[in-house]
Structure 1
Amino acid sequence: MTSWPKAVLFDFDGTLIDSALDIHAATNMLLARDGLGPVSLDDVKAMIGEGTRKLVDRAFAAAGRPLNEAELDDKYGQMVPLYAANLTKLTQLMPGTADALAALHQQGIAMALVTNKPDFAIAEILGHFDLTRYFPVIVGGDSGVPHKPAPDMLFLALSKLGVEAADAVFVGDSPADARSAHAAGMKLVLIEGGYSREPLESLGADVVLHDMSELNAALTRLAPQG
C-alpha cells in the first residue's frame, strides 16, 4: 500500500459525474408545474454544489418567485421524485474518472465519496456506472452534519476511514469544495469542467487539473517531502 495519501475523498457532481443535464430536466419540470421557467442549462450548473434543496431555492428565485421556508419544503419534496426518475438518463462520467478510480483502488488507496447530493440518488448512480466498489465510505446530503462548504462532512468521512486530514486529499470542482477542504486542513485538487461559479485558480487549490486522467500524477507531486 502506498504511504501517501492514505485516502482520497471525492465530490460527486461536476467531479466524478456530469449530472447537469438530468438535474436541468428535473428542475424545469418542477418549475413548469407553477408555470415558471424554463431556466437555462448554464443557470442550473451555477446552482449546483450546495445540495438539491439549495438548488430548488435558487431555481425559483431565478424564475422570479422566491420561496419562503414552508414553500421550499414543499418544492423540495416535489423535486425528489422528479429527479429520482431522471438520475442516469443523460448523466455521464467525467473524462478520466473510471481509469483514475481504478488506479487508486489498485494502489490500495482508500476512497470516500463526500457529496451534498441526497442519499436517494447516490447509490443508483454509483451502481449505474459500476463505481460502488470504490467507495466503502459515503457521506451524502442526508448524513445529518452540516453540508459543504462546512468541513463537517469531510471530518465524518475521515473518521469513518480512520485517516487524519494531513494524510488525505480532497478532489472537487467548486467553491464549496474548496472552502470545505481548507477548513478541514486537507490538500485540495480541483478539476476543470465542473460547475464552479468562480475561476478555479482563485480558490486556493494545491493543484488544478484539466480532468481526472491527471489525478494520479498530481497526487505524486503533492506528496510531503522528507
Structure 2
Amino acid sequence: MTTAATPAGPEPAHGAADAPAGVVFDLDGTLVDSWALHLRCLRRSLHAAGLPEPSAARLAAAQRPTDAQTLAALVPPDLLDEAALGYDRELRRLLAEEPTDRLAMPGARRTVAALRAAGLTLGICTGRSRAHAQALLDAAGLAIGLTVAREDAAHPKPAADGLLLALRRLGLTPDRARYVGDSPADARQGAAAGVPTLLLRPGGGPPADGTLRSLHDLPAVLRKAGP
C-alpha cells in the first residue's frame, strides 16, 4: 500500500536468466488506487470507536504495510474490534459508490489481459483480508485471482511467508516469477523470498532498473527479461 512519505527501503531485486512464467501482484497501490479510500476508512474507524478525528500527520505516521497493522497503531487494543467494524462498513459503502474506472490503477485491466494472453500465470499477494481484497478487485473490475490474503500467511509483509505461499499455490519458482509492488515493504518482501521485484513509481523520476513508471510498461519489461 502506497503511503505518504514512505522511508527508503532496500533496492528491488532484478535480473534473472530465464523468462518469467508468472507474475504475483501486490494489490493496494499496485492494481488498485485505494489510498484515498483507505484514509477515509481509517477516519471512520476511529469515529466508530469513539476516538477523536486524527490529524493528517498522525494518519501518515501510523501507516504500516497492512490496514490491520495501521489500525493497531492508531487504536487502543480494547477498541480494535469496533474500529475494524467501522473500517469494514465504510469500505463497503465507498466501494458501492466508487466508479471502477477510477479505482483500478492506470493500465491495470489492460496489462492483466495482455499478460494472461501471453500465457503467464497471474496471482495476487496482499496484506488485506480476503473479504476486503476481493471487494476491491470486484469494484475495480479486475479479473485476476486472489492467491494469498492476510489470513493465509503466518507473518505479514515484509516477511516472505505470503509471497512464497503464493508461488507454491501458483506452481511457480522464485527465479521464474516476478513480484510487482509499490512500496519499500514490497521490495523487502520480494528480496526475502528471492523473487525479482518491480516497483511501480508513477510520476517518479526517470525509469530505472527494478522500477515501472506505469503498469502499461510491464509486458515489455517482462519480454526483455527473457534469455
Deviation at 1:83, TM superposition (A): 2.3
Matching of residue 23 in structure 1 with residue 38 in structure 2: yes
- Measured in 2, the distance between the counterparts of 1:45 and 1:130 equals 28
Matching of residue 207 in structure 1 with residue 210 in structure 2: yes
- Measured in 1, the distance between the counterparts of 2:111 and 2:42 equals 31
Structure-2 residue corresponding to 1:128: 139
Structure-2 residue corresponding to 1:32: 47
- Measured in 1, the distance between the counterparts of 2:19 and 2:153 equals 30
Structure 1 residues 152 and 200, CA, compared in 2 at 3 Å: closer, same or farther? farther
Secondary structure of 2:128 counterpart = coil
Structure-2 residue corresponding to 1:219: 222
Structure-2 residue corresponding to 1:63: none
- How does the TM-score come out when normalised to structure 1? 0.79
Structure-2 residue corresponding to 1:146: 155
- Measured in 2, the distance between the counterparts of 1:206 and 1:72 equals 41
Matching of residue 115 in structure 1 with residue 126 in structure 2: yes
Q: CA RMSD in A?
A: 2.7
Q: Is the 8 A contact 2:45 2:84 kept in 1?
A: no
For structure 1, the residue ranges without an aligned partner over 5 or more in a row are 61-65
Q: Whose RCO is larger (CA < 8 A, sep 6+)?
A: 2
Matching of residue 96 in structure 1 with residue 112 in structure 2: no
Structure having the larger proportion of residues in strand: 1
Return the letter of the residue paired with 2:97: K
Taking only the aligned residue pairs, the percentage that are identical comes to 28
For structure 2, the residue ranges without an aligned partner over 5 or more in a row are 1-17
Return the letter of the residue paired with 1:15: T
Of 161, 173, 180, 1:164 maps to: 173
- How does the TM-score come out when normalised to structure 2? 0.79
Structure 1 residues 20 and 141, CA, compared in 2 at 3 Å: closer, same or farther? same
Structure 1 residues 200 and 175, CA, compared in 2 at 3 Å: closer, same or farther? farther
Deviation at 1:117, TM superposition (A): 1.0
Q: After the TM superposition, which of the residue ranges 89-98 and 20-29 deviates more from structure 2? A: 89-98
- Deviations 1:122-158 (Å, cap 9, x if unpaired)? 22222223323x32x5201121421110011111111
Deviation at 1:23, TM superposition (A): 1.5
Q: Is the 8 A contact 2:32 2:140 kept in 1?
A: no
Corresponding pairs, count = 205
Of 89, 95, 105, 2:116 maps to: 105
- Deviations 1:175-197 (Å, cap 9, x if unpaired)? 11111100010111000149xxx
Q: Is the 8 A contact 2:126 2:148 kept in 1?
A: yes
